[in-house]
C-alpha cells in the first residue's frame, strides 16, 4: 500500500495572456475550478496509475463546505481512505496560467491547518500498513517531519516533495529516502542551508551530509537528474506540447511511487514518472490532467522506453 500525508485544495484557475505585473490589472480569459492540492494530486495519481485495485491511505483534512464535499465524493469514488472533515473552509489554491502553459500559485491553507502532529499520531497504525509514504510541504511542517520520522523508524520508504520551500527545517533530511525538488526549489534549499548553489551534484553531496539518501531534480523540459551514493542518472524529457504545467511535479511523484511499489528499478521508475508528468502537461487542470495507466504505457511504448 502507498500512503500520502498532505494537502487537499480546490484550485481556482485563471487563464491569462501572461503573468500579471505588479500594479497591473488584466482580464482573465477563463475561470475554472479543479480539485487539487499537492497531497491530493499525488494520492489521485497513485489511484489512477496503480496496476492493482488497492487501497490508498490519504491522511488529509477537507472543509465542511461545498469544495470539501466535491473532494469527499472524489476520494470515495477512487477508493481513497483516511480523509478527515473539519469545521472550516477547504484549502484553496489560486493559479494564474499563461497561454504558454506556465503557472504561478498562491495557497490559502484553510482545513489543511488542522492536519496536526497529533492527528498523524492518531492515524499512525493505519498509515504504517503502507510501504511507501508521499509527503509535501503544504501542511504544518511539524506534521510532515513527524510522518517522515515515523516511517523512517519503521524501515519504510519516504518520498518528500519540498514545495513550498518556506518553513522546511534541516532535520527532516535524515528521514528522507527520495528528495524531489524542481530546479528552483533545489537552488533555494541549497542557499537556505549552505549559503550558495554550485551545481546539482554539489547540492546532493551537501544534503547527503545531513542524512539524505537520494536526490531527484525535476527539470521540466530539460528532463530529470537522479543522484545516489553510487549512481547518477539523467533522464531526457519527453517532447510534448505543454498546455498547463500545474501538478506535473505531483504526477511525477505519484507515478514514481507506483513504479517503485511494483518493484521496477530506479531507471524505469524515473522514465515511467517522466512519461506520466509529460502527458499531464498536455491537459488543463491538476487532477483532471492525470493520465491513465494505459495511456502512460502506450506513450512509453511509442517512445521505446517501456520494458
Active site residues: 250
Query: Measured on CA atoms in the order 192, 193, 199, 200, is the torsion positive or negative?
Result: negative
Phi, psi of 214 (to 5 degrees): -140, 145
- Return d(Cα 258, Cα 255) in angstroms, integer: 5
- Helix, strand, or coil here: 279? helix
- Return d(Cα 234, Cα 232) in angstroms, integer: 7
Q: Which residues pair with 224 in a beta bridge?
A: 218, 235
Tell which phi-psi region holds residue 23, choosing left (phi > 0), alpha (psi between -120 and 50) or beta.
Answer: left
C-beta pairs of 124-130 under 8 Å, 24+ apart in sequence: 124/150, 126/57, 126/82, 127/3, 127/5, 127/57, 127/59, 127/82, 127/151, 128/154, 128/156, 129/1, 129/3, 129/57, 130/1, 130/2, 130/3, 130/57, 130/156
Q: Which residues pair with 135 in a beta bridge?
A: 5, 160
- Return d(Cα 225, Cα 152) in angstroms, integer: 24
Of 246, 170, 227, the closest CA to residue 148 belongs to: 170
H helix intervals, 50-182 = 66-77, 117-122, 124-127, 141-153
Of 166, 175, 232, the closest CA to residue 203 belongs to: 232
- 59 neighbors 128 (Cβ within 8 angstroms): no
Amino acid at each position: 500500500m502507498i500512503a500520502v500525508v498532505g494537502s487537499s485544495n480546490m484550485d481556482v484557475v485563471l487563464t491569462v495572456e501572461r503573468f500579471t505585473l505588479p500594479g497591473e490589472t488584466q482580464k482573465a480569459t477563463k475561470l475554472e475550478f479543479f480539485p487539487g492540492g499537492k497531497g491530493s494530486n499525488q494520492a489521485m495519481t497513485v489511484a489512477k496509475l496503480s496496476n492493482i485495485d488497492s487501497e490508498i491511505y490519504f491522511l488529509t483534512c477537507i472543509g465542511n463546505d461545498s469544495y470539501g464535499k466535491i473532494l469527499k465524493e472524489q476520494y470515495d469514488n477512487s477508493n481513497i481512505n483516511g480523509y478527515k472533515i473539519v469545521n472550516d473552509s477547504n484549502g484553496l489554491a489560486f493559479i494564474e496560467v499563461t497561454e504558454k502553459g506556465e503557472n504561478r500559485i498562491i495557497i490559502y491553507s484553510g482545513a489543511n491547518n488542522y492536519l496536526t502532529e497529533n492527528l498523524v499520531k492518531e492515524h499512525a497504525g493505519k498509515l504504517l500498513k503502507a510501504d511507501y509514504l508521499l509527503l509535501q510541504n503544504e501542511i504544518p511542517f511539524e506534521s510532515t517531519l513527524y510522518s517522515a520520522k515515523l516511517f523512517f523508524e519503521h524501515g519504510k520508504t519516504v518520498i518528500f516533495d519540498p514545495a513550498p520551500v518556506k518553513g522546511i527545517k534541516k532535520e527532516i533530511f535524515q528521514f528522507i529516502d527520495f528528495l524531489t525538488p524542481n530546479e528552483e526549489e533545489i537552488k533555494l534549499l541549497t542557499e537556505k542551508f549552505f549559503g550558495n548553489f554550485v551545481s546539482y551534484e554539489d547540492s546532493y553531496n551537501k544534503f547527503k551530509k545531513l542524512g539524505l539518501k537520494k536526490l531527484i531534480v525535476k527539470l521540466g523540459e530539460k528532463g530529470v537528474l537522479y543522484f545516489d551514493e553510487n549512481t547518477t542518472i539523467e533522464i531526457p524529457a519527453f517532447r510534448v506540447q505543454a498546455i498547463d504545467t500545474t501538478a506535473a511535479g505531483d504526477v511525477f511523484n505519484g507515478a514514481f511511487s507506483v513504479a517503485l511499489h511494483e518493484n521496477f528499478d530506479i531507471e524505469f521508475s524515473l522514465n515511467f514518472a517522466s512519461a506520466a508528468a509529460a502527458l499531464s502537461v498536455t491537459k488543463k487542470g491538476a487532477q483532471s490532467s492525470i493520465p491513465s495507466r494505459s495511456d502512460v504505457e502506450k506513450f512509453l511504448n511509442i517512445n521505446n522506453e517501456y520494458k
